Structure 1
């Protein structure tokens, strides 16, 4: 592809990802494949995709400032520290993964993230039921957060669903609190992971900066369009996109 075609592909993918993340999530199903199809090596594409969608986490976190102020400061500090450690650990794990190994597991990661997105609502309901019935796993809250943060630093797909399920199972009964914690820890681990990618020289800056701008614009318009677009339609679109991308990457690795 020539420069203008590649730039258009990346900008459209990032804008659409911003819209998706504002409505239902799943934007990484577009940004990561677009970078790979544009010729960026898989590990660098994954790192650059994380950079592209990272600004959206800040706006989401600021939207839940009131809920975060109600939580114990020490608990927030501990969990932010765990998220930071996990995000950096996941990023370092990605950076030491041989390129051919990562290329081989990418289709499985995409398929896992798609399946996770598809069963997200069911997972959330079951987690909430377990919490209400007194079967929550509060003792696993912090170890679970560390593991999820490592996954998020390594591959961002489905991160929000895992965090929401974790907090619900661990006993958080208020959905706004769960969302606030999900956004805050996604912000921390993603920005720390991106920082590690930057220091390691794993970011494709020309593509990444273009996609950051487009994804931010998509998030702005997505927030406005979220009142008009049925979320269920968007979810189906994300799942179909994830399945198609998984199939394409399986075909590439065959």
Structure 2
């Protein structure tokens, strides 16, 4: 019973985090690993569980979709789905031990993107000009692959990439971020389900919490100041990245 309550609570927090800024799997993945679940199965189960919460948040923000650097939502959606399917296939081919070693570096990459994108974004936008759209398309495909492979903080990384190319702030881009991350994960979920590596009992607990947290977090995100959301998310990401390194290399 204690373990079930912990999983539900992790889902609530992660769903709210994904709605506010991203990075929900920084909460769910350590909890699933702590229950003794193998890392690849835990990653797949986390991705499946957080998907309903992401979808609920996307519904809340559905009126906020907009082109990014001139690229329309439909094109971005197709690229995200394609990348998610490729990434999921790569994960299924990755040995468990190798993924354990890669996990902290993937988490570090996401944390650095969150920390430094706001500082270098204006500099990049001033120098890219018309080259922003091709860079966005290439980057979005890579992030779709990353989302299908790991899923962790893919929303954060999309926000980071977009803020380098598009001058809109994170709140304006929230609807697009949630939709694209959810689309990449949907493609990955299909692959994981067919491979039979998802712990469906855990999905019901974790996903239920994420669904409630995602809806509440999206509603709250329209009111909270952006610096507060970013600061709290960054602190949590740094702490869990350190924990992943200690787990993999101690």
TM-score by length of 1: 0.83
User: Is the counterpart of residue 218 in structure 1 residue 240 in structure 2?
Assistant: no
Q: How far does residue 152 in structure 1 lie from its aligned partner after superposition?
A: 1.1
Q: Which of the numbers 94, 103, 106 marks the counterpart of 2:103?
A: 106
* Aligned position for 1:45: 42
* Aligned position for 2:201: 206
* Aligned position for 1:146: 141
**What is the CA deviation profile of residues 145-172 of structure 1, one whole-angstrom value per residue up to 9, with x for unaligned ones?**
21111111111223223323444555x4
Q: How far does residue 92 in structure 1 lie from its aligned partner after superposition?
A: 0.8
User: Is the counterpart of residue 20 in structure 1 residue 17 in structure 2?
Assistant: yes
Q: 1:106 to 1:231 in 2, by over 3 A?
A: same
* Aligned position for 2:237: 242
Greater C-alpha radius of gyration: 1
Taking the aligned partners of 1:130 and 1:165, their CA distance within structure 2 comes to 17
Taking the aligned partners of 2:130 and 2:124, their CA distance within structure 1 comes to 9
Contact 1:83–1:188 at 8 Å: present in 2 too?
yes
Q: How far does residue 93 in structure 1 lie from its aligned partner after superposition?
A: 0.5
User: Is the counterpart of residue 84 in structure 1 residue 84 in structure 2?
Assistant: no
Q: How far does residue 34 in structure 1 lie from its aligned partner after superposition?
A: 0.7
CA RMSD of aligned residues (A): 2.8
Which ranges of structure 2 fall in alignment gaps of 5 or more residues? none
Q: Which of the numbers 137, 153, 157 marks the counterpart of 1:162?
A: 157
Q: Which moved more, 1:27-36 or 1:241-250?
A: 241-250
Taking the aligned partners of 2:21 and 2:208, their CA distance within structure 1 comes to 20
Taking the aligned partners of 2:74 and 2:50, their CA distance within structure 1 comes to 24
Matched residue count: 246
* Aligned position for 1:191: 186
Q: How far does residue 139 in structure 1 lie from its aligned partner after superposition?
A: 2.4
Which ranges of structure 1 fall in alignment gaps of 5 or more residues? none
Taking the aligned partners of 2:76 and 2:223, their CA distance within structure 1 comes to 35
Q: How far does residue 76 in structure 1 lie from its aligned partner after superposition?
A: 4.1
Contact 1:124–1:164 at 8 Å: present in 2 too?
no
